[in-house]
């Protein structure tokens, strides 16, 4: 029987973020696309920031791009008792196979291993990858199988598990926007050529210590829903979303017509006094959130949006652009990240309150998907997320209202049409 974690265990838990910072210093700024392609590369000039300690002893580590998957890989290697991995896409490439091999190895060592993958998100992955993990002793669950004959409960093809979460020994948690795949990892996990796929720009965070345990609950809720069936609401978890009980909260949302994602975003925006910095992969929100961003800018808050110039769902770029004139007229600054596929989902208000995770501001995230975000109230961590936003500005194009109004009439038309059907995207 495994012994319970002691306070000393938590205090001295592995800190993969610092290990990467020490082994892989970044290079000088200003070359290439601003994505960390590989350890030690000099492509973007970003330095891994120091961990931030919260009052309850929880330690936070901000990650950028593939360094997050490298930290996840190293943390899995060090696991002694239990590994829980929940991911939308488990890639069918060298990175995905490296993670699958490692999970098999840990199962053979006697570590309890659990994997949840989304049936639609991982539709291109060889099913043999998951069968091999099952044969090795990994507990594997496919979220809402697309094949009706494989169902244990009701068929819900439109509700997907878009969360990305890793739990190690109940004392380390990692979450963000990254799936397990080469486009996210670059060469951070295994050597790969960046020319084989487009590079994706993403954010993530690590949590070590007492705060990790609320994310254990989030994983357990999803696992129990998949094993026992019932209402999908049993996979929901909200804790300390308004910081009544400390500096760290969790929003594990579920599909709902009246999702709690929008009210939370509304509260964060409404509370802004100085600045709002939103980095968002899929930006097609309800009109009232656009109104709130505009109202914030009009009352003197500096509102800046970092949005994609290209996307794996091109219609969502058109959907985001359909709001530009309204936003720019109100004084909101809009930037488009260049050269890469922007996949990050991060909000920082007044350099203190932060939301980071898998949640986009589009109808799919709000009404159809399981999503997961961490909520943090910390000036030190907020400053790091602000600095990361500023770093992206170096690789972005600012949209000018004067130039935007000169765009072709065909762009006007497409954006107007997409705006009206964005709830279907």
**DSSP character string of 215-247:** HHHHHHHHHHHHHH-S-GGGG-EEESTT-SSSS
More confident residue, 15 or 338: 338
pTM, to two decimals = 0.88
pLDDT given for residue 193 in this prediction? 55
pLDDT given for residue 38 in this prediction? 63
pLDDT higher than threshold 60 for residue 66: yes
pLDDT higher than threshold 60 for residue 3: no
pLDDT given for residue 30 in this prediction? 31
- Tell me what percent of the chain is helix, strand and coil, each rounded to the nearest 5: 35, 25, 40
pLDDT higher than threshold 50 for residue 395: yes
Q: Considering the domain 24-220 in this protein, what is its CATH number?
A: 3.30.870.10
Q: 117-156: string of b/e by CB count within 10 Å (b at 16+)?
A: bbbbbbeebeeebbebbeebbbbbbbbbbeeeeeeeeeee
Contact by Cβ (8 Å): 274, 350: yes
Domain boundaries, the chain: 24-220, 246-424
pLDDT mean over 295-318: 95
pLDDT higher than threshold 70 for residue 42: no
Q: Could you give the angle at the alpha carbon of 7 between the alpha carbons of 174 and 102, nearest 5°? A: 35
CATH T-level assignment (fold) for domain 246-424: Endonuclease; Chain A (3.30.870)
More confident residue, 416 or 1: 416
Nearest to 151, CA basis, from 179, 119, 193: 119
pLDDT higher than threshold 80 for residue 19: no
Please tell me which of 7-21, 177-191, 323-337, 402-416 the model is most confident about, judged by mean pLDDT: 323-337
Local structure of 289: helix, strand or coil: helix
pLDDT given for residue 13 in this prediction? 40
269: enclosing H helix or E strand: helix 261-270
pLDDT given for residue 37 in this prediction? 62
- In whole angstroms, give the CA distance from residue 43 to residue 37: 7
pLDDT given for residue 28 in this prediction? 33
pLDDT mean over 58-71: 94
- In whole angstroms, give the CA distance from residue 47 to residue 81: 32
- Whether 246-424 and 24-220 are alike in CATH topology: the answer is yes
Contact by Cβ (8 Å): 63, 176: yes
């Amino acid at each position: 029987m495994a012994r319970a974690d002691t306070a000393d265990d938590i205090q001295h838990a592995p800190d993969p973020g610092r290990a990467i910072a020490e082994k892989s210093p970044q290079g000088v700024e200003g070359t290439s696309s601003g994505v960390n392609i590989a350890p030690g590369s000099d492509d973007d000039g970003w330095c891994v920031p120091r961990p931030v300690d919260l009052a309850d002893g929880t330690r936070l580590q901000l990650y950028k791009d593939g360094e997050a998957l490298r930290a996840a890989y190293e943390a899995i290697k060090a696991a002694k008792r239990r590994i829980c991995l929940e991911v939308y896409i488990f890639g069918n490439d060298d990175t995905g196979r490296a993670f699958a091999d490692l999970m098999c190895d840990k199962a053979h060592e006697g570590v309890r291993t659990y994997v949840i993958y989304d049936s639609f998100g991982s539709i291109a992955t060889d099913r043999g990858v998951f069968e091999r993990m099952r044969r090795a002793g990994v507990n594997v669950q496919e979220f809402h199988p697309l094949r009706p004959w494989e169902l244990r409960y009701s068929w819900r093809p439109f509700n997907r598990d878009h969360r990305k979460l890793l739990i190690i020994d109940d004392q380390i948690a990692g979450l963000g926007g990254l799936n397990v795949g080469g486009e996210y990892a670059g060469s951070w996990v295994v050597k790969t050529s960046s020319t084989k796929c487009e590079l994706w720009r993403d954010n993530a965070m690590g949590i070590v210590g007492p705060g990790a345990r609320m994310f254990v609950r989030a994983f357990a809720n999803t696992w129990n829903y998949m094993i026992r069936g019932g209402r999908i609401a049993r996979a929901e978890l909200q804790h300390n979303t308004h910081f009544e009980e400390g500096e760290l909260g969790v929003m594990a949302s579920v599909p709902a017509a009246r999702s709690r994602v929008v009210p939370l975003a509304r509260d964060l925006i409404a509370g802004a006094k100085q600045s709002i910095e939103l980095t968002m992969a899929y930006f097609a929100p309800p009109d009232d959130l656009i109104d709130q961003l505009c109202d914030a800018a009009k009352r003197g808050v500096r509102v800046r949006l970092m949005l994609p110039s290209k996307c794996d769902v091109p219609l969502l770029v058109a959907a985001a652009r359909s709001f530009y004139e309204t936003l720019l007229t109100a004084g909101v600054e809009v930037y488009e990240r260049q050269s890469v596929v922007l996949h990050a989902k991060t909000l920082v208000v007044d350099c203190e309150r932060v939301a980071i995770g898998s949640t986009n501001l589009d109808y799919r995230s709000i009404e159809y998907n399981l999503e997961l975000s961490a909520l943090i109230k910390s000036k030190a961590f907020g400053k790091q997320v602000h600095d990361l936003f500023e770093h992206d500005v170096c690789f972005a194009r600012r949209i000018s209202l004067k130039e935007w109004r000169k765009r072709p009439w065909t762009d006007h038309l497409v954006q107007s049409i997409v705006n009206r059907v964005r709830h279907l995207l």
